[in-house]
Amino acid sequence: MMANTVEAEGQLTPDEQKRLTSDMHRSLRRKKFRALFLVAPLLIFIMVTFVSPIATMLFRSIDNPQVSEYMPNTTAALADWDGDNNELPDEATYAALVEDLVVGRKNHTIGKAATRLNYEKSQMRSLLTGTARKAGRLKPPYKDQLIKINKGWGDIDNWRVIKRESKPYTASYYIAAFDMETTPEGEIKMLPENQRVYLKMLWRTVWMSVVITLLTLLLGYPVSYLLASLPMRVANTLMILVLLPFWTSLLVRTSSWIALLQGQGVINDILVWFGLVNDESRLSMIYNATGTVIAMTHILLPFMILPLYSVMKTIPPSYMRAARSLGATPFTAFVKVYLPQSVPGISAGAILVFILAIGYYITPALVGGQTGQFIGNMIAYHMQSSLNWGLAAALGVVLLALVLGIYALYSRLFGGNNQMTLR
Amino acid sequence: MALPSYAGPLETFWYYAFRVFCGMVFIFLITPLLIIIPLSFNIEPYFSFTEGMLAFDPDAYSLRWYEEFFGSERWMAAIKNTFIVAICSTFLSMVLGTLAALGLSRSELPFKGLIMGLLISPMIVPLIISAAGMFFFYSSMGVSQSYLGLILAHTALGTPFVVITVTATLSGFDYNLVRAANSLGASPTYAFFKITVPLIMTGVISGGLFALMTSVDEVVVAIFIAGAEQRTVPMQMWAGIREQISPTILAVATLLVCMSILLLSTVEYLRRRSEAIRGISAH
């Protein structure tokens, strides 16, 4: 009897237990909401100002409204046409085309559809705009008259292109971004070797970024080792030499490399003065791939040194001394003891430099000349000069996928331990 | 790291070779920043040292390019624009980033990894991609070619730095201090402003300085979404280097180097202060 009462006092009735659990749940939920409430403003802000733009770009790379929007009658008429039997579309389709051309010319919209089709097949622009100029005067039946105006209207391949691009979404920007083309028969194949541009550019970007990453590692590793092993006071002073470039504007550093490397620049002057180089044969170290590599190695070197240094700082110097005292040569001690422990720093620095390098645009544009351009410059070219925004978006998505892929691989290999944070 | 007394000749050689190599890397790092300072005082419109400059002839030096810079309406307008955009976007980044970091440091926050990934994504995505996306989106929203658009864009690019530095500061934060304040009768708001804010302030300010630097130095997004009216200093430099490179650029560059020295000193001071507060001595 007694024991029973004691037990009852210590325990809660099922009813009380239920109430307690629900109270705890409610309090936890309230805390959860409070945390979410703090994060929400920035999360919404980033969603609107940053994530939506990226999503817009994804959409732009497949969006294909021009033909279906500005040539609606032709699009509808071509829906029942089967391009596979070698027959031209019927008279009704030609009539629809004339209607679209007349309306499109009046509203100044036919140029947009013509430009879009010209990306797929050259001469499509002149075919459409040229015919549009004369279409207003035509009387039915149209078919033979149109073929008379321009033989292109008797070419079944042109009709196939119009039909293919009248769909609201397209893969053709990606096909172009990978240096491929769609044949009139609808097959996708690689362009001839001499017409490939983007894959070559992408390959050059990756290759040059690898070179830059290796150079920063080669220059950064010894410096980080020195900084990590020097007394704190000296190391902090020398660190200024690393941090000052890090805090200096990218454009400042790029323009000082122009001053240093150009034909009449400081380095060439010194070489000529010492008689190492003839005044007539000054070295061309800028406006080519060399210039891009030198300037970008300098710009990205602090991004290698800082993570390396922060990892090396945690390696106790006694390990090396222990290895030496056990008979290891300095080389063996370094390779077997120090190097493996510095791998997290190497990987963090390398991934950071590589990801930054691969997306560079400003420095290659200013010092890269013809041979030192990156894929980012190609994106900017299509955004600002050729105005082929779909292709620019597709190239952007390819680059983004590459960067995110490398980042994912890195977090998988190295468990995403956060060496990438700032100092 | 002195050379051990038992080192042989080979090791001695390596020791000095290593030091010389490191010295050369330091020279490589700092020379480009130092070389522009004397060149910006060149009286001739060249990017190279004239004979007069090498002979320290006072007539070979002048303040010509600085006068040109301070006398140019374009450059002065660019400075004004840079300040407007940088100050607004830094302020926004600091407020939004600090709030988010306070939320992120709570263990109850669901989907923490995903949220953190989204919040620091502006730092990972290459700038040219952000610029292209923002160009499409901001034009369709009608905010491109406006101060608002540029401020929003720079805020998005700057917040990851504030989030990261404040989160790092909060990782060493002792929540018992807030509990103690509450138990002594402080209201949550009072405890926040009297206890939490002073302790995380160093993180907030150094994150803010990173955000400020991002905005002041940012050119890729700016050339895509800003109009001629919002032309910032980096945009003006970009145009200047591409079109016709004159030593005025070097005068601007020298002033910017001075600014980075100032910023670096501030950040280093803050870092040491915060380490001292958290009990990790810098020495």
Query: How deeply is A231 buried, as exposed, middle or buried, from its count of CB atoms within 10 A (0-12, 13-18, 19+)?
Result: exposed
Interface mutation target, options B25, B50, B159, B246, chain A, most CBs of A under 10 Å: B25
Report, as an integer, the average pLDDT of A68-86.
87
Domains (ranges, CATH) in chain A?
Answer: 66-167 (no CATH), 198-414 (1.10.3720.10)
Q: Is the pLDDT of residue A418 over 80?
A: no
pLDDT of residue B91: 97
| Residues of chain A positioned with their CB less than 8 A from the CB of B109 | 32, 35-36, 39
Whether B129 has its CB under 8 Å from any CB of chain A: the answer is yes
Tell me the per-residue pLDDT of A160-182, one tens digit each, with 9 for 90 and over.
899 988 999 999 999 999 999 88
Given CA atoms A277, A278, A279, A281 in this order, what sign does their dihedral have? negative
Confidence class for position B220, pLDDT limits 50, 70, 90 = very high
- Which residue would you say has higher pLDDT here, A281 or B66? B66
Task: Tell me the sheet residues that pair with A150.
Answer: none
pLDDT of residue B136: 94
| Residues of chain A positioned with their CB less than 8 A from the CB of B91 | none
Whether B205 has its CB under 8 Å from any CB of chain A: the answer is no
Domain map of chain B by residue range?
9-60, 72-245
Nearest-angstrom CA–CA distance, B94 and B99: 8
Whether B226 has its CB under 8 Å from any CB of chain A: the answer is no
Supply the DSSP symbol for A422.
-
pLDDT of residue B26: 97
CB pairs under 8 A between A and B: 265
Nearest-angstrom CA–CA distance, A350 and A180: 32
Confidence class for position A421, pLDDT limits 50, 70, 90 = very low
- Which residue would you say has higher pLDDT here, A206 or B201? A206
Determine the residue type at B94: M
Interface mutation target, options A62, A252, A285, A308, chain B, most CBs of B under 10 Å: A252
pLDDT > 90 fraction of chain A, expressed in percent and rounded = 57
In this structure, are residues A114 and A125 in contact, taking their beta carbons and an 8 Å threshold? yes
pLDDT of residue A300: 96
Report, as an integer, the average pLDDT of B228-240.
92
Report, as an integer, the average pLDDT of B21-32.
96
pLDDT of residue A212: 97
Residue-averaged pLDDT of chain B: 89
**Buried-exposed string A361-375: b where 16+ CB fall within 10 A, e elsewhere:** bbbbbbbbbeebbbb
The Cα of A18 is separated from the nearest Cα of chain B by a number of Å equal to 22
Report, as an integer, the average pLDDT of A226-230.
92
Nearest-angstrom CA–CA distance, B110 and A35: 9
| End-to-end CA separation in angstroms for chain A | 67
- Which residue would you say has higher pLDDT here, B283 or A259? A259
Whether B106 has its CB under 8 Å from any CB of chain A: the answer is yes
Q: Is the pLDDT of residue B6 over 50?
A: yes
Whether A50 has its CB under 8 Å from any CB of chain B: the answer is yes
Taking residue A25's Cβ as centre, other Cβ atoms within 10 Å add up to 10
pLDDT of residue A415: 65
Min mean pLDDT across A84-98, A124-138, B51-65 is at: B51-65
In this structure, are residues A226 and A423 in contact, taking their beta carbons and an 8 Å threshold? no
Whether B142 has its CB under 8 Å from any CB of chain A: the answer is no
Report, as an integer, the average pLDDT of B275-280.
65
Confidence class for position B107, pLDDT limits 50, 70, 90 = confident
Q: Is the pLDDT of residue A237 over 60?
A: yes
Please name the helix (run of DSSP H) or strand (run of DSSP E) that holds residue A140, with its range, or none.
none
Whether B242 has its CB under 8 Å from any CB of chain A: the answer is yes
pLDDT > 70 fraction of chain A, expressed in percent and rounded = 96
Please name the helix (run of DSSP H) or strand (run of DSSP E) that holds residue A81, with its range, or none.
none
CATH value of B72-245 in 1.10.3720.10, 3.90.950.20, 3.90.190.20, 1.20.1070.10: 1.10.3720.10
Whether B46 has its CB under 8 Å from any CB of chain A: the answer is yes
- A positions 187-206 inside 8 Å of B (CB): none
- Which residue would you say has higher pLDDT here, A366 or A12? A366
Q: Is the pLDDT of residue A198 over 70?
A: yes
Q: Is the pLDDT of residue A361 over 90?
A: yes
In this structure, are residues B237 and A255 in contact, taking their beta carbons and an 8 Å threshold? yes
Nearest-angstrom CA–CA distance, B210 and B161: 6
Residue whose pair of structure tokens reads 């309090």 in the numeric block: A27
Closest CA to B50 of B60, B40, B41: B60
In this structure, are residues A245 and B269 in contact, taking their beta carbons and an 8 Å threshold? no
Report, as an integer, the average pLDDT of A56-75.
93
Helices (H), A79-231: 91-106, 110-120, 124-135, 143-149, 156-165, 172-177, 198-229
Between strands A188-190 and A180-182, the pairing is antiparallel
Nearest-angstrom CA–CA distance, B65 and B45: 9
Min mean pLDDT across A329-333, A378-382, A394-398, B157-161 is at: A329-333
CB contact under 8 A, B25 and A223: yes
- B positions 56-95 inside 8 Å of A (CB): none
| Residues of chain B positioned with their CB less than 8 A from the CB of A242 | 29
CB contact under 8 A, A396 and B99: no
CB contact under 8 A, A259 and B250: yes
Task: Tell me the sheet residues that pair with A182.
Answer: A188
Determine the residue type at A304: M
Whether B249 has its CB under 8 Å from any CB of chain A: the answer is yes
**Biggest CA pair distance of chain B:** 75
pLDDT of residue A252: 92
Nearest-angstrom CA–CA distance, A89 and A156: 8
Lookup: tokens for B186: 């402080």
CB contact under 8 A, A42 and B132: no
CB contact under 8 A, A256 and B128: no
Report, as an integer, the average pLDDT of B211-238.
93
Task: Tell me the sheet residues that pair with A190.
Answer: A180
Confidence class for position A419, pLDDT limits 50, 70, 90 = very low
Whether A60 has its CB under 8 Å from any CB of chain B: the answer is yes
Interface mutation target, options A33, A42, A234, A325, chain B, most CBs of B under 10 Å: A42
pLDDT of residue B242: 86
Nearest to B128 among A40, A244, A359 (CB): A359
Whether A116 has its CB under 8 Å from any CB of chain B: the answer is no
